[in-house]
Amino acid sequence: MAAGKGSRALVFDAYGTLFDVHSVASLAEELFPGHGDALSRLWRQKQLEYTWLRTLMRRYEDFERVTEAALRHATRALGLDCPPGPLNRLLVAYLHLAPYPDVRDALPALGTMPLAILSNGSPHMLGAVVKNAGLDAAFAHVISVDEVKLFKPSPKVYQLACDRLGLKKAEIGFVSSNYWDVCGAASFGFRAWWINRGGATPDELGQQPVATLASLAELAAQAGKT
């Protein structure tokens, strides 16, 4: 099924879909030799866990605070001494995450359809990472969960895209590399595509994507056929 068919706009997740959250691993390795990969992965794991737990507890903090808390936990769990200098360098690196290699060519290939980002990121974090990657012109809207003070996969988050774009659920295509996010979007009523770059195993959450693609290049190729 072509990605553009039936969709009047495409909405993208940011972290892990457009931007490689593990591009911080090289700096982490520089700061903590032998622990860079483990630190990056535990940091990301706890970052996601904290968003889900804070939503369940109704104790929202923006993604910058969540990201810092997750980093502090990860360094402690790995037995690493992380004074303010290295900690701040890693947090700043999150504002300069590298786009995946398929992003720059794929977005223009999607044609004139409006594109948006819908992300857990705070407005400041999203503005910085999009600008630093030189992708400002690619997106008509950059939408943060901060507007509703809840994190994905709350349905209220996905509703933000409908409200901002002025479109019905079924008119929006949603693209994410995070399967739990795909399931949340599909459950809400979006037509969701899963970008499975690493050959991950789908979660058992009772929802399915419209299609599973190996890269954003495949999404662009499908959209170009409509």
pLDDT at 226: 42
Q: Write out the two tokens for 105.
A: 């060519």
**pTM confidence score:** 0.93
**Fold adopted by 9-20+97-223:** Rossmann fold (3.40.50)
Judged by DSSP in three states, 10 sits in: strand
Does 31 have pLDDT greater than 50?
A: yes
Q: Any idea which residue has 């904290």 for tokens?
A: 50
Does 3 have pLDDT greater than 60?
A: no
Q: Which helix (H) or strand (E) holds 19?
A: none
Cβ distance 119 to 145 under 8 Å? yes
Verify whether residue 163 is a known catalytic residue.
no
Does 225 have pLDDT greater than 80?
A: no
**How do residues 41-83 score in pLDDT, each as one tens digit?**
999 999 999 999 999 999 999 999 999 999 999 999 999 998 9
**How do residues 131-155 score in pLDDT, each as one tens digit?**
999 999 999 999 999 999 999 999 9
Q: Write out the two tokens for 222.
A: 């499908």
Domain boundaries for CATH 1.10.150.240 within the chain:
21-95
Query: How does residue 6 score in pLDDT terms, banded at 50, 70 and 90?
Result: low
Does 223 have pLDDT greater than 60?
A: no
Query: How does residue 7 score in pLDDT terms, banded at 50, 70 and 90?
Result: confident
Encode burial over 110-125: b for 16+ CB neighbours within 10 A, e otherwise.
beeeebbbbbbbbbeb
pLDDT at 220: 76
How many Å apart are CA 211 and CA 48, to the nearest integer? 24
Cβ distance 177 to 13 under 8 Å? yes
Task: Fill in the DSSP letter of residue 12.
Answer: E
**How do residues 180-208 score in pLDDT, each as one tens digit?**
999 999 999 999 999 999 999 999 999 99
Mean pLDDT taken over the chain: 94
Q: Write out the two tokens for 193.
A: 């595509």
Cα 56 to the center of its chain, rounded Å? 20
Task: Fill in the DSSP letter of residue 40.
Answer: H
21-95 is classed CATH 3.40.50.20:
no
Q: Which helix (H) or strand (E) holds 175?
A: strand 172-176
Does 214 have pLDDT greater than 70?
A: yes
Domain boundaries for CATH 3.40.50.1000 within the chain:
9-20+97-223
How many Å apart are CA 90 and CA 199, to the nearest integer? 28
Query: How does residue 1 score in pLDDT terms, banded at 50, 70 and 90?
Result: very low
